[in-house]
Amino acid sequence: MALWTSEAAAQATGGRATQAFEINGVSIDTRTIRPGDLFVALKDVRDGHDFVAQALEKGAAAALVSRIPEGVPEGAPLLVVEDVLPALERLGAAARERVKGKVIGVTGSVGKTSTKEMLRAILSRQGKTHAAEASYNNHWGVPLTLARMPQDTEFAVIEIGMNHPGEIAPLARLARPDVAMITTVAPAHMAAFESLAGIAREKADIFKGLTETGVAVFNGDLDVSDLLAQAWDGEMLRFGEDEANSARLLSVELEDGRTRGEAMIDTEHYDFALSTAGRHFAANAVGCLAVVYALGADVAQAAADLTLWAPPEGRGARETVTLPVGAPVELIDDAFNANPTSMSAALEVLAKAEPQGTGRRIAILGDMLELGEKETAIHGGLAALPWFAALDAVHCVGPLMRSLYDVLPEDRRGTWFETAQEARPVLSSLVGPGDVVLVKGSKGSKVSLLVDEIRKLGQAHPA
């Protein structure tokens, strides 16, 4: 069954199809387009209309355009609309309207993508589940994810993000979730918000999209949890360690590379295990079980299936790098994003890791960006975290991380580099056999370059 016929797509978008066609997918990138896809000619840094001919040559079934692009043959399969992005939004809205399954919306300052993948892992065992392959959580990513949603979807997990005030509500209204989850509220994007309360109010805007019988699921351990609760008049479930929460994390134990936990929802107890270490992962796992409970699905099955989940690349994924000589290096790749909350969680994981032989616990920390006017003090304040006491060396990357580097104890202070590029040539001298190495920083700090350098020390494979 086709994802969209030309007739259905034209009706949804208000556009005009130049000929009849059937599409099996929706793409915005000619590098990853597959035969049968609808190519959406979005205009961003580059104009997608410049790539329509290439998309059709690669087998695209049609292209969504606002004009006939140059180089496109007469009679080519096109869906012509007034404006491409609003048309994509209408296509996404039509996809949501025709799906009879349950839709889950996920937002939060930390852990959106990991939680989305956790929900995908456990819900896919209970029904046909749809979710974006990447972090498609912005003004084009959400409608794209919806437009790709098959009509027979039973569960859809839609990630919703923001950088500035006012971005979440319209995306939530487009997705119209049956259950909306907020993982946490933390000091991220502080350059765009005056306070943590401001971030909380923006995150709570996801509830504005809930269906009439929708359920709000959010972290009840937060100082701003009451603010979140005020944003929804319907059913809600709080999760976390506090006794007042509906879904409680009763215990959590971090073993080397694994997490074991016990949750209670209503009066039922559930044991679960995660194939990676992290107290923050355990908290979000309980949040996911609360979502399953709100959906009326099988919570016991979901708890058992949590072990199937693994964090995505750059978000705490663990790899083993086999060296030519000596014990392998264990790499914790957390280089996609960082703020004080996620930094503390990642450092706890490193502190409780077990190096091999004479190996060490080494942190390579990049700048945490978008923290506002207090960014320098926030970086220096990381030194108060208890996890540093268990580390052997801390290397810092970036101008903001200099403030942490300057206050670290001398016996743990490694090297400071102004940029990740500057650190690349000497990285092999900082990492040795048996070491456990955490690489953590905001995407803009480019410490992912150092993840790649560590992989080059030997042969890397998932831990």
Query: Across the chain, which distance is largest between two alpha carbons, in Å?
Result: 71
Ligand-binding annotation for 114, yes or no, is yes
Report the Cα–Cα distance between both ends of the chain, in Å, rounded: 39
Cβ distance 37 to 26 under 8 Å?
A: yes
Ligand-binding annotation for 397, yes or no, is no
Ligand-binding annotation for 111, yes or no, is yes
Residue tagged 């180089």 (tokens) = 71
Ligand-binding annotation for 445, yes or no, is no
Q: What is the DSSP string of 395-431?
A: EEESTTTHHHHTTS-TTTEEEEESSHHHHGGGHHHH-
Ligand-binding annotation for 109, yes or no, is yes
Token digits for 164?
């500035």
The three-class DSSP label of residue 31 is coil
Rounded to the nearest angstrom, the gap between the alpha carbon of residue 7 and the centroid of all alpha carbons in its chain is: 34
Cβ distance 217 to 181 under 8 Å?
A: yes
**Nearest-CA neighbor of 437 among 445, 446, 427?**
427
Report how far apart, in Å, the C-alpha atoms of 377 and of each of 189, 247, 312, 405 are.
16, 35, 30, 12
Specify the amino acid at residue 174: L
Token digits for 441?
């920083």
| Beta-sheet pairing, 179-182 with 413-417 | unpaired
The dihedrals phi and psi of 195, each to the nearest 5 degrees, come to: -155, 170
What is the C-alpha radius of gyration for the chain, rounded to an integer number of angstroms?
23
Per-residue HEC secondary structure of 179-200 comes to EEEECCCCCCCCCCCCCHHHHH
Token digits for 413?
């202070």
Token digits for 210?
């809930």
* Binding-site residues: 108-114
* Binding-site residues for ATP: 108-114
